[in-house]
Amino acid sequence: MNTKVLFASFALVFLAELGDKTQLTALAFAASSKSPWAVFFGTSLALITTTALAVIFGEMLSRVLPERVLHIGSGVMFVLVGLVLLVNEARKVPAVAPMPEPAETSMVQPAGFLSRMVLRHAILFETEMVDALESATEVCDDAALRQGLEEVTKEDHVHIESLKELVTGIPQADDEPDTGASEKPETVSPPAPVADALAAMEGIEADEADSPFHKLIQKQEAIAEFYIALARMSHLHDARDTLRWLAMEEIRHAQHLCSLINHDDQPA
């Protein structure tokens, strides 16, 4: 017996089968059964049988084919088996989706730029609201209504300062266009929900049938809807809270003025 071939075959098969399915199957059987020796003899017999079949088949091939052909055939089979394994593993890997092409910077405005643009709309409307409240206060003859208008005016000044803090707190991207403080908000089209709220406020201003006081109430309700639309668009938690608070303040102002006007309209 050739001891060199004996040890070489033992080492190769031992390393190849170490951690293989056969060994893992034997491990699972031995762990779940109460007869480890039966598992040992059964798996050993299976390995002996498969090895015997391989040796017999190899011996038969050596009698039919030349040794050189056997060596070449063994190498080709080894390469083919390796390729099959690689192809199977490659099919299991999920396909990587192609990276989307970057959008042109000239066609897309940064989110921070749009937020600042919309908030400038809000500051503009709050400023117009303050002017309208001050004008209404000057022509108001009712003392209670005048006092209510003055209180609402002071609170709207606080709203303007809150909006200015929101504008300064929005980060500016490096590639964002520097519009400057003098740019009008109308230069960029706002998102659809905000545009609807803006159109509602413009419609209130154009309606000449309502009295100035009723216009104030309608405008405050429209500004509240404007703030709600902004809150739904905002990605910052603090900004959403501030915008919702501003919306509730405008609704409260509208209710307060409405109650004062209705009280003033009631007959004595």
Pair of tokens at residue 188: 């960029």
Return the sign of the alpha-carbon dihedral for residues 107, 112, 118, 123. Answer: negative
Domain ranges of the chain: 3-92, 111-265
pLDDT at 211: 65
Helices (H), the chain: 3-17, 21-32, 36-64, 67-92, 111-139, 143-169, 192-206, 212-233, 237-265
Rounded to two decimals, the pTM is 0.44
The segment with the largest mean pLDDT, out of 13-17, 39-43, 68-72, 189-193, is 39-43
pLDDT band at 139 (very low <50, low <70, confident <90, very high): confident
> How far, in Å, CA of 31 to CA of 2, rounded?
37
> How far, in Å, CA of 180 to CA of 223, rounded?
25
**Of the listed ranges 4-13, 49-58, 74-83, the one predicted with least confidence:** 4-13
Homologous superfamily in CATH for domain 111-265: Ferritin, core subunit, four-helix bundle (1.20.1260.10)
Of the two residues 245 and 201, the one the predictor is more confident about is 245
DSSP string for residues in 94-124: PPPPPPPPPPPTTT---HHHHHHHHHHHHHH
